[in-house]
Structure 1
Amino acid sequence: MSKNVQKIGVIASLVIIIGGFLTLLMTWRNIGFIDGFIVAWLSSFALCVLCIAPIGGGIAFVVNRLVNLIFPALSYVKKNIVFGLVMAVLMESIMAVVTTINLHGFMVLKEFVDFWLATFISALPAGLAISVLMSLVIKPKLAAFWAKPV
């Protein structure tokens, strides 16, 4: 298997595992474990992947640049933690918007904000824990993996 296919496989696996888990939490918070839960969750998950996968790399690139620019004196580990926390908040915000619209449709702004906030807050602890794990363990391993020649 080529190195490029392996790299795509690693990214796809991370998106599926992390995105699937977080959208599961968000869907559960919005509608509970009702009869249509699996269909609602899978549709939210698919929409989130379609929204986040294309823009996630760009967001990560910009956030990484900003962290390095704003905090040049921080150690590599601390920069990775800041990067992970910012990414968690940004990506979960987007996922919460997509999940809220998917489950409730478009509505009055105040109702939307209430549902979005509940959705975002429900997954935030898990997202922050995942971000620290990603920043301290997975991101350095991915960087080494990507640095290997194709």
Structure 2
Amino acid sequence: MQLKLKNVLVIFTILSTLVAAITAIMTYANLQPTQSFLNSWLNSYIFALVVMLPTSGLIFIVMNKLVELLFSTLTNIQQKLLHGVFMAVVMESVMAIVTTVVNHEYVTFAQYSRLMFSSFLYALPIGLGFSCLMVFVIRPKLQRFLAQPTTNNL
């Protein structure tokens, strides 16, 4: 298997694990006793993998440009930390909204807000950790991977 394909598979595995962990935590945080965890989690996971993962890639790029533009006086490490925190808060907010909507169809706004905020708080520490992993480890590897010249071994 080519090195580039291996790298893509490794990155995809890491990102899908991140999505699985966060959706599992959020699903567990606002699961009702009558709901099946596996079905609820699977619905949230599939949506997150198909819709949120590509969207988060775009948000990641835009957020990076905004941090570089608005906080150019900060050091590189400070910018990366700020980028990681912003990404975690934005993505966890969106995921909390989506997970709560998927798992709770008929609730009042007050119940929905409580469930959404609860799932956000449960998953935020994991999101912060993964976001920093993304900014400090995965992104540099991805940049090096994309910068390498392509070689055809056919």
- The question of a shared fold, defined as TM-score above 0.5 by the shorter chain, is answered with yes
For 2:89 and 2:145, locate their aligned partners in 1 and report how far apart those are by CA, in whole Å. Answer: 26
Matches within 5 A, 1:13-24: 13-24=13-24
Flag the structure with larger Rg: 2
Q: Is the 8 A contact 2:11 2:138 kept in 1?
A: no
For 1:13 and 1:5, locate their aligned partners in 2 and report how far apart those are by CA, in whole Å. Answer: 12
Q: Is the 8 A contact 1:27 1:44 kept in 2?
A: yes
Comparing 16-25 with 135-144, greater Cα deviation is found at: 135-144
Aligned residue number for residue 81 of structure 2: 81
RMSD: 2.2
For 2:146 and 2:33, locate their aligned partners in 1 and report how far apart those are by CA, in whole Å. Answer: 39
For 1:124 and 1:44, locate their aligned partners in 2 and report how far apart those are by CA, in whole Å. Answer: 17
Residues paired across the two proteins, number: 150
For 1:63 and 1:55, locate their aligned partners in 2 and report how far apart those are by CA, in whole Å. Answer: 12
Aligned-residue offset at 1:127: 1.1
Which structure: greater helix fraction?
1
TM-score (norm 2): 0.84
Aligned residue number for residue 135 of structure 1: 135
For 1:9 and 1:106, locate their aligned partners in 2 and report how far apart those are by CA, in whole Å. Answer: 39
| 1:122 equivalent in alignment to 2:122 | yes
Gaps of at least 5 residues in structure 1 are none
For 2:149 and 2:93, locate their aligned partners in 1 and report how far apart those are by CA, in whole Å. Answer: 35
Runs of 4+ aligned structure 1 residues displaced above 3 Å come to 1-8, 32-35
For 1:32 and 1:53, locate their aligned partners in 2 and report how far apart those are by CA, in whole Å. Answer: 26
How much identity, in percent, do the aligned residues show? 34
Aligned residue number for residue 145 of structure 2: 145
Gaps of at least 5 residues in structure 2 are none
